[in-house]
Structure 1
Amino acid sequence: MGVVFLGIMSHAPGLTGRIGQAPAADREAVFEGFAQMRARLEVARPDLLVVVAAEHFANFFMDNMPAYALGMADRYEGPIEDEQWLRIPRTVVPGNAAASRAIIQHLIHEVDLAYCEEWKFDHGIMVPLHYLTPDYDVPIVPVNINCQQPPFTPLARAWAFGQALRRACDALPQRVALLGTGGISHWPGSTQMGRINEDFDREFLRRWTCNDRDALLAYADEEVLREAGHGGIEIRTLVAIAAAAGGGSPGELLFYHGTPAFSIGSCAAVMPVLPTGPARAFSREGGHVAVPDPEAPV
């Protein structure tokens, strides 16, 4: 079946752990915005949720920092953070090792990536799941793009990764939802924590919803670090989803709300799922093999 949903959202720990510290109007804006995102996801009826996120030294550290990594397990556990601090109870999240393996076997022809049979979820995945699949009833394939420690993968490579990920997911028999999650502007753990650059955020979201490849790839890391903080490096996860959408019709911003109590500008946006050309499979010898379109005229 392939991809049936494409979207992005924020994932900061403050969105659950400090939810009570925000004004009531801010809380309601976030709850309503994420509820819209959840409704869109439920309409798509995914069998599999592929989450492109940026983890925070929960699984990878300086002795092993892959640019791209995928989980390949039938179960995961999270959150790795303190449950009381994050306000999300620790639980087992279902995976799908066979689907993960199929995605990986496609990707390795185009992307050098790591894969892991053990993966602890931190807030980068658990906060989105808390709002979108609170019953944890959709199997997850976790994907990590290194946004923690330089050298960072170039944005052009994140775009190419998103394209390859779409092709791999379209080859699956399941209905697949692709979700990118990260911050836009935020300065976690620094003296500027709580700062939000709303102008930067809204301009990025404008470029994203327009699916303007050139504009999205025009960001330099120096600019992002200056204007959006080191948390802004996570735009790579969001750029990958724009690439997976393949261009064409514009996306839709469901909401954006800047709340200092959450230390981030909260957002959710979706892209239409459009055909990206003929599906492709890979031969055992390597290389692409065209897959006939079952709906094409004979």
Structure 2
Amino acid sequence: MSLVFAGVCSHAPGITGRSEQADPDVRDRFYAAFDQMRVDLEASRPDAVVIIAAEHFANFFMNNMPTFAIGMADTYEGPIEDPGWLGIARQQVPGSADISRRFISEVMHGSDVSYAEEWKFDHGIMVPLHFLTPGYDVPIIPVNINCQGPPLTPLHRAWQFGESIRAACDALPERIAVISTGGISHWPATPDSGKINVEWDLDFMDRWCRNDRDALLDYDDLTVYADAGQGGFEIRTFIAAAAAAGGAKGTVHFCEPIPIFAVSCTVATYDLNR
């Protein structure tokens, strides 16, 4: 088969952990966009969902920090954080070692990756799953791009990784969905935590929707750090989804700042039929 769904969404822990503190009108419109994304994802009837995230030192640390890693297990557990803090009960999340193994083998034709047979999901994966697969009934293939500890992969390599993911989707007989998660501009765990560069976020999402490779790769990490914080390094996950979508055009369904969540909360999808 091939890629049947592609989109991106935010994963900030406040989205579930501080829900009651947000402006209810904006929060509810954001949640409605997430719910529509769930409906569209379910309509694509995926056999597995590849979720590309930026892992937050929950599994990988400075003693072993792979640039790209893919999970290869039949089950995963999350969240690794305190469920009371995150607002998500601990779950057994289904995977598929068989699909993952074949998926990884195909990805390796274009990109070098590490694999992990054990993986505790943090909020980068669990927040999106909470909204998009609330029944935890679809096999998940977790993918991590190092966006935490420099040296970080160059953006063109994140694009190439996305192309390798698309090639793997095309090679497998299963129906595969790809969802990338991140924050866009944010400054977590710093004195600027809560700061949001809305204009930067909207400009980035415009480039993403146009699937403009040159524009998406026309960033450097020093400028991103200054304009979007260290959390802005997570654009690598969104860029990988753009490459996987193979030139498809996108639509932003929601992209507005919710200060208590500390990000421009974003839901966007690609129209793979265009």
When normalised by structure 1's length, the TM-score is 0.90
Aligned to 2:209: 209
Code of the aligned partner of 2:260: A
- 1:78-119 per-residue CA deviation (whole Å, 9 max, x = no partner) reads 000000000000010000101110011112222111101000
Aligned to 2:50: 50
1:231 aligns with 2:249: no
Q: Please, what is the CA RMSD of the aligned residues?
A: 1.0
Matched-pair contact (CA < 8 Å) for 1:73–1:97: yes
Aligned to 1:92: 92
Aligned to 1:268: 267
Code of the aligned partner of 1:86: L
Aligned to 1:283: none
Give the drift of 1:274. 5.0
Matched-pair contact (CA < 8 Å) for 2:54–2:182: yes
Aligned to 1:121: 121
Aligned to 2:109: 109
Code of the aligned partner of 2:270: M
- 1:20-69 per-residue CA deviation (whole Å, 9 max, x = no partner) reads 11111122121111112112111111110000111100000000000000
Aligned to 1:254: 253
Code of the aligned partner of 1:69: A
Instruction: Give the whole-Å Cα distance in 2 for the aligned partners of 1:107 and 1:33.
Output: 31
Matched-pair contact (CA < 8 Å) for 1:160–1:240: yes
> How many equivalent residue pairs?
274
Matched-pair contact (CA < 8 Å) for 2:109–2:164: no
More displaced stretch, 74-83 vs 27-36: 27-36
Aligned to 2:76: 76
When normalised by structure 2's length, the TM-score is 0.98
1:60 aligns with 2:60: yes
Instruction: Give the whole-Å Cα distance in 2 for the aligned partners of 1:148 and 1:125.
Output: 15
Instruction: Give the whole-Å Cα distance in 2 for the aligned partners of 1:261 and 1:105.
Output: 41
Instruction: Give the whole-Å Cα distance in 2 for the aligned partners of 1:42 and 1:93.
Output: 17
Code of the aligned partner of 1:29: R
More displaced stretch, 66-75 vs 166-175: 166-175
Instruction: Give the whole-Å Cα distance in 2 for the aligned partners of 1:169 and 1:245.
Output: 11
**Which ranges of 4 or more aligned residues in structure 1 deviate by more than 4 Å?**
none
Aligned to 1:31: 31
- 1:177-200 per-residue CA deviation (whole Å, 9 max, x = no partner) reads 000111100111110011110000
Instruction: Give the whole-Å Cα distance in 2 for the aligned partners of 1:36 and 1:268.
Output: 10
Instruction: Give the whole-Å Cα distance in 2 for the aligned partners of 1:210 and 1:142.
Output: 26
Instruction: Give the whole-Å Cα distance in 2 for the aligned partners of 1:274 and 1:172.
Output: 19
Code of the aligned partner of 1:95: G
Instruction: Give the whole-Å Cα distance in 2 for the aligned partners of 1:198 and 1:102.
Output: 40
Give the drift of 1:19. 0.8
Aligned to 1:244: 244
Higher-Rg member (1/2): 1
Aligned to 1:156: 156
Secondary structure in 2 aligned to 1:251? strand
Give the drift of 1:14. 0.6
Matched-pair contact (CA < 8 Å) for 2:5–2:44: yes
Q: Report % sequence identity.
A: 57
Show structure 2 runs of 5+ residues with no match.
none
Matched-pair contact (CA < 8 Å) for 1:184–1:201: yes
Instruction: Give the whole-Å Cα distance in 2 for the aligned partners of 1:250 and 1:175.
Output: 20
Matched-pair contact (CA < 8 Å) for 1:246–1:274: no
Instruction: Give the whole-Å Cα distance in 2 for the aligned partners of 1:69 and 1:158.
Output: 12
Secondary structure in 1 aligned to 2:249? coil
- 1:264-284 per-residue CA deviation (whole Å, 9 max, x = no partner) reads 110111112259xxxxxxxxx
Code of the aligned partner of 2:5: F
Aligned to 1:182: 182
